[in-house]
Amino acid sequence: MHIIFDKAELRFGERVALHPLSLQLSEPRIGVIGLNGSGKTSFARLVNGLAKPTNGRVTLDGMDTVADAKAVLAATGFIFQNPANQIILPLIRDDIAMGPKARGLKGKALDEAVEAVMDRFAIAELAERRPHELSGGQLQLAALAAVVVTEPKLILFDEPTNQLDLKNRALVMRAIAGLAQQAIVISHDLDLVSGFGRVLVFHEGRLAFDGDGAEAIARYRELAAC
């Protein structure tokens, strides 16, 4: 997707969460890093329309996040920092089926779509399992499957490897790398975004750096040391 920020700003009363930002994004993998409270989450919420710009505008493939909010939400998926918060049905299969079912898919077509996405992420054996029975990595993959099955063009990730052990972290990293969709990844896991072609560094509500992974991480370390 072609994402355009046109002097987009986000305020909460007198507090500026994100200062006016103008940039264009179209890369398949985009990392977003910065200290806590730097504006990363505000940026992501402006992308998918969960937050409306106080001033300026944001568009995705020409869709305005305010005027075309429903279309923007349909074109984007979001993976929570804690995926257990978005898996709401008792069984993993049912949760994955919820999105396409809401869009009118049913019967054999629904079953095939659910089975295909579970096979894609190698989680077919989790179909009849309950969320509390899964590891952190399995939960992330189940949440990702529930988003991918709705066929979004863009997926935003909020700290996808947070608190995962090495094995589960590797599972999630491979899943992100293999996505056909464009992905924006907010993370404190610098290794995760180090190979991305474009990484944004936010600091105190402003875009402090915009470049490749290695340079972005170096700039982030400088800011963190101040």
Residue type, 186: I
One DSSP character per residue, 104-119 reads T--HHHHHHHHHHHHH
pLDDT (0 to 100) of residue 147 = 92
Q: Are 138 and 175 in contact (CB under 8 A)?
A: no
- Which two tokens mark 220? 């982030």
pLDDT (0 to 100) of residue 82 = 82
> How many domains is the chain built from?
1
The position carrying tokens 């589960």 is: 168
Q: Are 77 and 150 in contact (CB under 8 A)?
A: yes
Q: What does the alpha-carbon distance between residue 186 and residue 124 come to, in Å, rounded to a whole number? A: 28
pLDDT (0 to 100) of residue 154 = 96
Whole domain around residue 157: which residue ranges? Answer: 3-85+153-225
Rounding to the nearest 10 degrees, give the CA dihedral for residues 207, 65, 82, 12.
60
Give domain status of residue 129, yes or no: no
Give domain status of residue 109, yes or no: no
The pTM (predicted TM-score) of the whole model is 0.91
CATH number of 212's domain? 3.40.50.300
Q: What does the alpha-carbon distance between residue 200 and residue 121 come to, in Å, rounded to a whole number? A: 28
Give domain status of residue 148, yes or no: no
**Of 94, 222, 106, nearest to 146 (Cα)?**
94
Give domain status of residue 167, yes or no: yes
pLDDT (0 to 100) of residue 137 = 84
Give domain status of residue 110, yes or no: no
Give domain status of residue 127, yes or no: no
DSSP 80: -
Query: In angstroms, what CA-CA distances link 206 with 37, 61, 100, 226?
Result: 11, 24, 37, 16
Give domain status of residue 197, yes or no: yes
pLDDT (0 to 100) of residue 105 = 86
Helix locations, the chain, DSSP H: 40-47, 69-75, 92-102, 107-120, 136-148, 166-177, 190-193, 213-225
State the 10-residue block means of pLDDT for the chain, 226 residues long: 97 94 96 94 94 97 96 92 84 92 88 92 91 87 91 93 85 89 94 93 96 94 88
pLDDT (0 to 100) of residue 132 = 87
Give domain status of residue 111, yes or no: no
- Which two tokens mark 93? 């299969």
pLDDT (0 to 100) of residue 116 = 93
For the chain, give the longest Cα–Cα distance: 58
